[in-house]
């Protein structure tokens, strides 16, 4: 593991063009050191969080922001504030964010594989295939969305990307309001002392209301479901309500990619006027939201189907067949015939776990050690 980390850091430091074109050796070494330090630190953090909670609770945004603040502060102190420095800082944050995300994803897969008895080597091979395909698919999707709508627009506000851009430009130009940053850190610390997640509080502050309102409505539905459940019921990720909500998230993402493809190809316009305007349109929107909430509520109330355990096979009677004892295949031997003058009964297992005593009257039985 140490050799792999050293190879990545040295390659990033001594190969020109990885972080930004035209950078000198010293800035590249600073960027490579940032990748090594923040990457190792946050990979361990991501793996631990996934092991305790799950991959859905991984703070990738917080990891990226801390990395950008650290590397950008070093660049600002050294006087590297040109456009190439901004690209280099962003590249360091990107590498660390991807490393932490992949660490969380692999840890989740390995944890699940351990529970179901999968082979870790085959899982790692599948992860390599998935990563080699996903990198191109993600890049193509981002380029497609950028060409269709443009980042920072009304259709794609990209609040996290805009926040990271603001941090990089503010730190390198020396215009970042550190008092506000420290005030936000203090508010998050106070929220954590009150029992509220600091990350969730911070996300709720900088995300726009259009993004937070659906999250709030979904949280209300989940709270209503949890209120009517017994303690410890429906807490797993296989809960029907969670699966239904995951399907809605995946469907919305696929529909957005399809719409962007139609916009780029010229089949659909970039924006359309509402078909139903006025009070009727607003009532229709409210009815649609209530229908989705009802669907999630019913899905969460559904009982998970459990498969009854299969009955145990009957205990074999009589000694094993000679062919089976010799390692071959053979039919089960017939039980021994009854003794003269008494009915035959199936042999019982010895209470002490030893050999089975032969049937017969107690006076004729011999103790077998």
pLDDT in tens, 46-66: 888 777 776 766 778 888 888
Q: How many CB atoms lie within 10 A of CB 22?
A: 9
CA-wise closest residue to 260 among 352, 140, 88, 103: 140
Q: Are residues 151 and 295 in the same domain?
A: no
Q: Are residues 165 and 257 in the same domain?
A: no
Q: What is the mean pLDDT of residues 5-15?
A: 82
Q: Are residues 130 and 212 in the same domain?
A: no
In a domain? residue 361: no
Q: Are residues 218 and 164 in the same domain?
A: no
CA–CA dist 132, 211 (Å, integer): 31
In a domain? residue 253: yes
Alpha helices in 53-176 (DSSP H): 60-78, 83-116, 120-148, 159-173
Q: How confident is the model at residue 311 (pLDDT cuts 50, 70, 90)?
A: low
Mean pLDDT lowest among 7-11, 269-273, 357-361: 357-361
CA–CA dist 46, 102 (Å, integer): 9
Q: How confident is the model at residue 330 (pLDDT cuts 50, 70, 90)?
A: very low
In a domain? residue 335: no
Residue that is last in its domain, among 260, 285, 302:
302
Residue that is last in its domain, among 133, 153, 176:
176
Q: Are residues 138 and 258 in the same domain?
A: no
Q: Are residues 115 and 22 in the same domain?
A: yes
Q: Are residues 90 and 213 in the same domain?
A: no
In a domain? residue 307: no
In a domain? residue 363: no
In total, how many domains does the chain have? 2
In a domain? residue 344: no
Q: What share of the chain in percent tops pLDDT 90?
A: 4
pTM of the model: 0.65
Q: In the chain, where do the E strands start and end?
A: none
Q: Are residues 153 and 212 in the same domain?
A: no
In a domain? residue 355: no
Q: What is the mean pLDDT of the chain?
A: 78
Q: Are residues 26 and 161 in the same domain?
A: yes
| Cβ 90 vs Cβ 164: under 8 Å | yes
Q: Are residues 105 and 249 in the same domain?
A: no
Task: Give pLDDT tens digits for 148-201.
Answer: 888 878 878 887 788 888 888 888 888 888 888 888 888 888 888 888 777 677
CA–CA dist 334, 320 (Å, integer): 9
Q: Which domain holds residue 283?
A: 208-230+238-302
In a domain? residue 50: yes
CA–CA dist 288, 294 (Å, integer): 10
Q: Are residues 171 and 219 in the same domain?
A: no
Q: Are residues 10 and 82 in the same domain?
A: yes
Residue that is last in its domain, among 285, 302, 319:
302
Q: Which residues contact 8 (CB under 8 A, 6 or more apart)?
A: 35, 36, 39
DSSP 141-171: HHHHHHHHT-TTSSS---HHHHHHHHHHHHH
């Amino acid at each position: 593991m140490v050799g792999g980390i050293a190879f990545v850091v040295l390659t990033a430091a001594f190969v020109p063009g990885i972080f930004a074109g035209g950078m000198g050796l010293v800035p590249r070494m600073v960027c490579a050191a940032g990748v090594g330090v923040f990457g190792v630190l946050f990979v361990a953090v991501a793996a631990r969080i996934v092991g305790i909670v799950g991959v859905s609770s991984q703070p990738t945004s917080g990891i990226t922001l801390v990395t950008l603040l650290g590397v950008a502060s070093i660049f600002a102190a050294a006087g590297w504030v040109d456009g190439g420095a901004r690209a280099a800082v962003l590249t360091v944050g990107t590498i660390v964010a991807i490393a932490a995300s992949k660490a969380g994803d692999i840890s989740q897969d390995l944890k699940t594989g351990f529970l179901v008895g999968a082979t870790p080597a085959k899982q790692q091979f599948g992860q390599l295939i998935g990563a080699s395909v996903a990198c191109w698919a993600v890049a193509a999707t981002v380029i497609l969305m950028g060409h269709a709508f443009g980042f920072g627009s009304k259709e794609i506000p990209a609040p996290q990307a805009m926040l990271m851009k603001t941090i990089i430009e503010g730190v390198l130009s020396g215009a970042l309001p550190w008092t506000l940053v420290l005030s936000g850190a203090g508010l998050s610390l106070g929220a954590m002392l009150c029992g509220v997640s600091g990350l969730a509080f911070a996300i709720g502050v900088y995300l726009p209301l259009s993004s937070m309102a659906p999250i709030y409505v979904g949280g209300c539905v989940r709270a209503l479901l949890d209120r009517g459940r017994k303690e410890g019921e429906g807490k797993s990720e296989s809960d029907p309500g969670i699966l239904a909500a995951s399907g809605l998230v995946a469907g919305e993402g696929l529909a957005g990619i399809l719409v962007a493809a139609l916009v780029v190809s010229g089949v659909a316009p970039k924006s359309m006027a509402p078909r139903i305007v006025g009070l009727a349109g607003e009532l229709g929107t409210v009815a649609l939201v209530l229908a989705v909430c009802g669907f999630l509520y019913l899905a969460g109330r559904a009982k998970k189907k459990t498969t009854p355990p299969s009955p145990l096979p009957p205990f074999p009677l009589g000694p094993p067949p000679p062919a089976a004892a010799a390692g071959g295949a053979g039919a089960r031997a017939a039980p021994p015939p009854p003794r003269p003058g008494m009915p035959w009964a199936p042999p019982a297992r010895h209470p002490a776990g030893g050999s089975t005593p032969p049937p017969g009257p107690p006076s004729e039985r011999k103790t077998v050690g």
